[in-house]
Amino acid sequence: MLPRDFRDGAVQLQSRLKIERAAPGELFDAKLATPFAVLGIRTAGELVTHIEYLPRGVATLEPTNKLAAKACRQIEKYLADPQFEFDLPFEYRGTPFQQRVWRAIQAIPRGKTLTYLEVARQLQSAPRPVGGACGANRLPLVIPCHRVVASGGIGGFMHARGGEPIQIKQWLLRHENVPANRA
């Protein structure tokens, strides 16, 4: 990539998905192809630290460690069975409010959704900060932010209101058999 391809620390790809630029020396520990994206998986020690949606054309990468391999196996199990429950070791890394939102999101059962407003009411907050916490989620699928929707529609996903991110959210909700009026 050329320097002009970088802007504000992120790479803007033709697919319109923003990809965080890895810190120097930081690499993905696996890249797994799925029907909706390539998932970039990062680990640190005994924890999964990031799962990132990458464009479908990105080259895959075999897992470089046991934890990345476990993450790939669990994602594949989820893709085969939307009722599969992840048990990957991770740490909530965010503000105390973000952590409260992520715990509330993890409690949403498969096949169900809550609106940003419903989550906000549970936490005695407002919908917009809930949406911000969803966007800051570094572990999608494990912390299923795709299950949080707007009161009048699908809402945003990955800080976007259209395009590929929303298509990914729709795919995940259909995969989990969410009724069409909630997806």
Catalytic status, residue 145: yes
- How would you class 59 by CB atoms within 10 Å of its CB: exposed for 0-12, middle for 13-18, buried for 19 or more? exposed
Q: Are 87 and 73 in contact (CB under 8 A)?
A: no
Sign of the CA dihedral 143, 155, 99, 15? positive
3-state secondary structure of 169: helix
Q: Which of 133, 145, 149, 168 is catalytic?
A: 145
**Cα gap 2→9, rounded to integer Å:** 13
**Cα gap 150→161, rounded to integer Å:** 11
String of DSSP letters for 109-133: PTT--EEHHHHHHHTTS-HHHHHHH
Q: Which residues pair with 10 in a beta bridge?
A: 7, 20
Q: How far is CA 181 from CA 51, 65, 153, in A?
A: 28, 41, 8
- Give the active site residues: 145
